[in-house]
Amino acid sequence: MNGSIVVTDALTKRYGSHTAVDAVGMTVHAGEIYGFLGPNGAGKTTTLRMLVGLIRPTSGTATVLGGRPGDPAVTRRIGVLIEGPGFYPYLSGRDNLLVLARYRGCAAADVTEALRRVGLADRADDKFRTYSLGMKQRLGVAVALLGSPDLLILDEPTNGLDPAGMAEMRTLITGLAADGHTVVLSSHLLSEVQEICDRVGVISHGRLLTESTVTELRGAATLFVRAAPVELAYPAVRHVVGDHSALLTAAGIRVDADAATAPRIARAVVESGADLLELRTDEKSLEEAFFEMMEEAPAKSMPGSGRGDVPGPGRGDVPGPGRGDVPGSGSGSVPRPGNGNVPGSGSGGVQEPGRGIVPGSGSGSVPGSGSGSVPGWGSGSAAGSGRGGVPGSGSGSAAGSGREGVPGSGDGRGVGVRVEDASGTREGVA
């Protein structure tokens, strides 16, 4: 490698109280294919967007091609495919690239070469809207190739491709690296990453868990030997690899050795007089190593400033400035400015500015500015400014100026003023 193309130090991006990328320190060497792996929502795309200057980090630093992300001198040397690129649907693939090539100062010959490299030369003059998902993805890669950039940053470049398209993309990416380009790609297809990447970084919950070669991440290979009779084969294998490197299991003999040792083991088993039934190399796939790492990674707690089970500035089980089980400024089990069980400023079991059980300004069991059990202005068992059993500003048991049984301003036991309904005007009686 000829130095580092990308270096980040404690790179962090926060959105409010949510930390999308948490102190990531990664290094990408010149000429390598670097795989950026992680589950959905891990912070891969956010990190890549910071590397190309599309968003700014909250803290930390990133150096790309010796400069700061977003500087024009740096941007000209980077080819980018992040998320779904936008194209004009009624222009051809070629015309779309020609439009973008003008912004990058590229010639028409660069467009033709980019289309050829991604396998779209024969469909270059078709309208973009007629392209399949895989063809649209390849056109996005063609945009990234304009101007032969030193660094390619590709977010899910194989998305939407069929198996043949994936093979073509794999060949394209390895060819770009062979030509001296540096490639950073994210992907959820771990088998593809295993095939083409030199090194990988694994990110989870915004934190970089590891950065190593694919071989290191997969761990050492082992050999599996099945022979009969095993009583003859096992001592022969131990003689080749040592006592501590061979383990006899119910299925066969497992050997801590690489594939280079396999021919010696095969000869030893045959010379012992045993029949060699099976000899294979067991290697952990990148996918297996990835899932093991995800299981070992500590789960990040849900963000928030509260102390309860759900984030918030309050101390209860649900966020809020209050201390109860439901957010609010009160201290009861449901939020309110007072201290009752339901929000309100009163002290009863249901919110109110007064002290009643149901919200209101009164002190009765139903809200009101009076003290009655039904809201209103009176002090009787029914709200009202009177003392009656139904709310109203009168003192009777029924409301005065509304319809029957509905609060009003009268003061008798029945309704004091006529009301209108669908059948016309009539006198109301409680």
The domain spans of the chain are 4-217, 219-295
Quote the CA–CA distance of 314 and 397 in Å, as a whole number.
44
The token duo for 54 is 């599309």
**165, 169, 175, 180: CA torsion to nearest 10:** 160
Phi, psi of 238 (to 5 degrees): -65, -30
pLDDT of residue 321: 45
The token duo for 163 is 């198996």
Class of domain 219-295: alpha beta
In a 13 Å sphere around the CA of 268, the CA atoms on its Cβ side amount to 20
pLDDT of residue 324: 39
Q: Please list the ranges in the chain whose pLDDT falls under 70.
A: 1-2, 219-220, 244, 297-430
Quote the CA–CA distance of 27 and 210 in Å, as a whole number.
11
pLDDT of residue 154: 93
Which of 3.40.50.2300, 1.10.275.10, 3.40.50.300, 3.30.390.30 is the CATH number of 4-217? 3.40.50.300
SS3 173: helix
Quote the CA–CA distance of 24 and 147 in Å, as a whole number.
30
pLDDT of residue 285: 74
How much is the pTM? 0.58
Quote the CA–CA distance of 172 and 70 in Å, as a whole number.
27
pLDDT of residue 418: 44
Quote the CA–CA distance of 245 and 247 in Å, as a whole number.
7
pLDDT of residue 235: 94
Contact 422, 429 (CB under 8 A): no
